[in-house]
Amino acid sequence: MNRPIPGTVEVSVRHILSDRTTGFLTRTRRITWQDNLSRVRRPASGKQSVELTCPVCDASLLAEVRTEARTRRTSAVLLVLAALSVIVFFAAFGYAVHEGGRTLPEGQSLPVLFPVSIASIFVTFVAAPVLFLQGRRYNGVTMLDAPKPRRIHGIMPVRG
């Protein structure tokens, strides 16, 4: 269905119709939106600004498009960072378990690296999946500007 056309990228212009949080003890967030497919031409080099129009409300959105080569590079960097986060996570985890499980002699405190490893575990635990998803989804198109309120619009990647 979505046959890739060289030099172009397909994105989805998202208009948030409503975003409501209901409930008191158990909060439920209900978001409804409308997506509209749009094809954007990639520049021959560097990056280029393009204007997209939201078909729901006619708002004009400013987006930045990068070349395919640059998009692939950024995506690869994000995936490498995700892989590094996984490695750091396991290394820090192993270290924390090792150091934390030791019985220390009286009066000796844990090494400085111990809290660092605990912090690394938390940071990489969050960063790894985020970087991985961003790397997978990155299509070189980012929204630069939109009329206020900005959050009602988004430019979403479309899987080719």
Which residues of this chain interact with Zn ion, rule CB under 5 A?
Answer: 15, 54, 56-57, 59
Helix (H, G, I), strand (E, B) or coil at 98: helix
The beta-strand segments (E) located in the chain are 8-22, 28-41, 47-53, 60-66, 141-145, 153-157
Q: Which is closer to Zn ion, CB of 59 or CB of 62? A: 59
Query: What residues contact residue 109 under an 8 Å CB cut-off, 6+ apart?
Result: none
Least CB distance to Zn ion at residue 154 (A): 10
Closer CB to Zn ion, 61 or 92, in the complex? 61
CB of 59 or CB of 83, closer to Zn ion: 59
Smallest distance from Zn ion to CB 145, Å: 14
Nearest distance, CB of residue 15 and Zn ion, angstroms? 4
Q: Which is nearer to Zn ion, 105 or 149 (CB)?
A: 149
**Bond before 149 cis per omega within 30 degrees:** yes
Quickly count: other Cβ atoms within 10 Å of residue 13's Cβ: 23
Angle between helices 68-100 and 113-137 (to 10 degrees): 150
Q: How far is the CB of 59 from Zn ion (least distance, A)?
A: 5
36 burial type by CB count under 10 A (0-12 exposed, 13-18 middle, 19+ buried): middle
What are 47's strand-pairing partners? 66
Q: How far is the CB of 64 from Zn ion (least distance, A)?
A: 19
Q: Tell me the residue nearest to Zn ion as measured from the CB.
A: 54
Kindly tell me which of 56 and 62 has the beta carbon lying closer to Zn ion: 56
